[in-house]
Chains A and B, each alone.
Chain A
Amino acid sequence: MVPLNWYLMLSAAVFSIGVFGFLTRRNIIIMFMSVELMLNAVNISLVAFSHYLQDLRGQVLVFFIVTVAAAEAAIGLAIIIALFRNKATAHVDDMNEMKG
């Protein structure tokens, strides 16, 4: 039986990798992947909590998160494609039309 703490540590580690990736990488697609990593870290901890609390609510929330993440991916990629058509780049440092 794997103790709950291990799952929580895994979840915290994956979440931190996501945050770190989001803040340091400059490619839009990789930043977006980092956000997905953060969402999945949350899913790990929710499922672990749900199992240890013997309560289904957490798993229900996981289903919603997965669904919303799919919608989010669709919209995010659509925005990136719209952007790519105007300016062939996927680098956030090139997104400098506005400053101030």
Chain B
Amino acid sequence: MPLVMPDLKPITPEIVMTCLALFILVADVFIKRKETLALLSIIGMAAAAFTFALPGALNTTFGGMFISDGYSMFFKIVFALNVILTILISVKYLAVERVNFGEYYALLLFSTLGMMIMASAGDLIVLYLGLELMALSTYILAGFIRYDMKSNEAALKYFLLGSFASAFLLYGISLAYGLTGTTNLDRIAMTISEKGLAGKPALTLSMIMIAVAFSFKIAAVPFHMWAPDAYEGAPTSVTAFMSVGPKAAGFAVIGRVFLMAFPMVRAEWVAVFIPIAIMTMAVGNIVALSQTNIKRMLAYSSIAHAGYALLGIIAGTADGLASMMNYMLIYAFMNMGAFAVIIMLRSEGFKGDAISDYEGLSKTHPLAAALMLVFMFSLTGIPPTAGFMGKFYIFMAAINAGYTWLVIIAVIFSAISAYFYLRIVMNMYMKDPKETVTLTTSPSMGLALAITTVAVLAIGVLPAKVIYLARVAFP
């Protein structure tokens, strides 16, 4: 059998990322100043992002196992932004937490590599490998503060439930493989329609198991139990990273698998996702009301946002998917910004993650309070911020697909969410400071905050460009 070299152009970003992550891992031994590693990681990631645009980058390779198209490119841009912003906000934070190790950057890059592979997966095997690469790196990152009991506990809970979920994914994959005789997403869809497998109980079971596994990854209710604990206990920069990256990757594969491999059983999976979306929005928004820790509150908020984004998948139209992708990009900016402010409040000997720590912040640190205000408004969905545009397009797409009642429910829960987001704003602006809060600032933190603030406001005022990008990305 002649061995044909596969076309490597579509997979260049992943190859660059692999080399970069391995290089950082080795360089860690020789470089004493870990800030240098952060800088190298950002430069390398930016270089990998440039290879997205190389000629011949949009193609399918490795016999259909790896798909590089507009859809995956859009998600890869989100992942690249996510990792760059995470590195920017964590440089000083790691020193404050006394865990300034170089592996941190290598693990972030490996996790991002896993997400990129997931977004490009054209085959269930590749999908599984990408998912595990992402998940295993994130488990370690969640437990990165070794001496802290909370961080250990976060890692353990995330690890146990994550591996439980991937066993479900594998069982679903094995059933799909047994029924169709292939793991290629396109060919699964073809076999289902050729053999008339739609409606067979085994296929429905396989589809439900895969849906359950992905619901774990995006922290959708009732598979969200790990999220609040993992988000609260993990280092704040990692919380920021995993509230955006793995979630966006989860949505990327949901869109890919359910619309590419299971379009014939659409009625069944929509019937699975509608109750999940409603419960996710309900639990996320209602439980967030009673939280006293801001990281935990943002964990529930991130659960709720997964519920909104699911509406785009349920709509299932090109507009629905584009609005979901757009939402992920906007969510990356606004959530990163909010976590950046939380990280600034953390200083030597002061946790700064209780909601009461924000009392009177506008009097002591007006700029930080103003930035937090922008991000909280955006997470609530108040114009002229990006969060409003994200929700607007998602709801429009769902209405156009005929799910008006679902959108009404979503809007009601979105109104409830204003209470807990604006409570932070109220604490900052209408209460008097109790204790003096010192901000831990650094140039990289300033840069991250500038990028996120400008993006949130710019997308809020001029959304057409991003929407256009997402719309052309999905054929």
Contacts and interface: CB of A to CB of B under 8 A. Distances in A.
Contacts, number: 126
Chain A CB count within 10 A is highest, among B128, B157, B159, B292, for B159
B178 A42 contact: no
Contacts of A22: 160, 164
A35 B178 contact: no
Nearest to A32: B160
Given A39-B167, A95-B156, A57 B182 contact: yes
Nearest to B181: A53
A18 B152 CA distance: 24
Interface string B48-64: 00000000000000000
Interface in B119-155: 124-125, 128-129, 132, 136, 139-140, 143, 146-150, 152-155
A31 B160 contact: yes
Chain A, interface size category, equals: 35 or more
A15 B206 CA distance: 14
A83 B234 CA distance: 13
B179 to A, nearest CB: 9
A100 B224 CA distance: 13
Contacts of A11: 174
A98 B136 contact: no
B177 A61 contact: yes
A81 to B, nearest CB: 10
Nearest to B300: A100
B357 interface: no
Interface in B154-187: 154-157, 159-160, 163-164, 167-168, 170-171, 173-175, 177-178, 181-183
A71 B125 CA distance: 17
Chain A CB count within 10 A is highest, among B136, B139, B170, B175, for B170
Contacts of B159: 75-76, 79
Interface in A16-69: 18, 22, 28, 31-32, 35, 38-39, 41-42, 45-46, 49, 53, 55, 57-58, 60-61, 64-65, 68
A41 B156 contact: no
Interface stretch (B30-38, B225-233, B323-331, B459-467): B225-233
Contacts of B233: 97-98
Given A83-B152, A87-B149, A57 B163 contact: no
A53 B174 CA distance: 12
Interface of B is mostly: helix
Interface residues of B, number: 46
Contacts of B177: 46, 49, 57-58, 61
Contacts of B136: 68, 71-72, 75
Given A45-B178, A46-B177, A82-B146, A76 B163 contact: yes
A85 B145 CA distance: 13
A9 interface: no
Nearest to B165: A35
A28 B89 CA distance: 33
B293 A42 contact: no
A38 to B, nearest CB: 4
A100 B147 CA distance: 23
Contacts of A65: 128, 170
Contacts of A75: 136, 139-140, 159
B164 A79 contact: no
B291 interface: yes
A98 B129 contact: no
B183 A100 contact: no
A95 B157 contact: yes
B296 interface: yes
Contacts of B171: 15, 38, 41-42, 45
Given A64-B128, A68-B132, A83 B170 contact: no
Contact of A42 (B174, B182, B183): B174
B288 to A, nearest CB: 10
Interface string A87-100: 10000100101101
13 contacts: A45-B174, A53-B181, A57-B177, A58-B177, A60-B125, A61-B177, A65-B170, A68-B136, A71-B132, A82-B152, A86-B152, A92-B160, A95-B153
Closest 6 CB pairs of A and B: A38-B167, A49-B178, A83-B152, A42-B170, A45-B174, A68-B132
Interface of B: 124-125, 128-129, 132, 136, 139-140, 143, 146-150, 152-157, 159-160, 163-164, 167-168, 170-171, 173-175, 177-178, 181-183, 228-229, 232-233, 287, 290-293, 296
Interface of A: 8, 11, 15, 18, 22, 28, 31-32, 35, 38-39, 41-42, 45-46, 49, 53, 55, 57-58, 60-61, 64-65, 68, 71-72, 75-76, 78-80, 82-83, 85-87, 92, 95, 97-98, 100
